[in-house]
Amino acid sequence: MYGFKEITADQLKSLLDSGQNFHLIDVRSPAEVARGVIAGARHIPLHLLPMSIQDLERDRPFVFYCLSGGRSAQAAAFAAAQGAGEVLNLRGGISAWAGRGFPIVAPD
């Protein structure tokens, strides 16, 4: 499937809790990010990803998310096409994360 895999909110929570080192990238708009983020996420709006991806270390997995999973799937496909190693998309986005009762924090 386009060089990336889907991950559930529960699986992402397990990754975060395990302390695994990976890029967690929020590709939503600044207005959406202002409403809250998943702790540890780096904000790179989808339209800026082509100019920013070269600055990210490729020796770690990438996990992308947006509001519902559509834009982050585009980001994941792009990252995979650019040669990123392990690329994951949060199925259902931050909406699925919040729906499971996991925390959303204020952006940095």
In the chain the domains, ranked by start, together with CATH numbers, are: 5-99 (3.40.250.10)
With 70 as the cut, is the pLDDT of residue 1 above it?
no
> pLDDT of 5-41, one tens digit each?
999 999 999 999 999 999 999 999 999 999 999 999 9
Residue (of 107, 108, 66) closest to 89 by Cα position: 66
The 3-state DSSP class for residue 39 equals: coil
Greater confidence (72 vs 2) lies with 72
- Scan for tokens 């490729």, then name that residue: 58
pLDDT score, position 59: 87
* Average pLDDT of span 80-94: 95
Residue 74 CB contacts under 8 Å (≥ 6 apart), including other chains: 46
**DSSP code of residue 46:** G
Which active-site residues does the annotation give?
66
Q: Are 43 and 26 in contact (CB under 8 A)?
A: yes
> pLDDT of 32-63, one tens digit each?
999 999 999 999 999 999 999 989 988 899 99
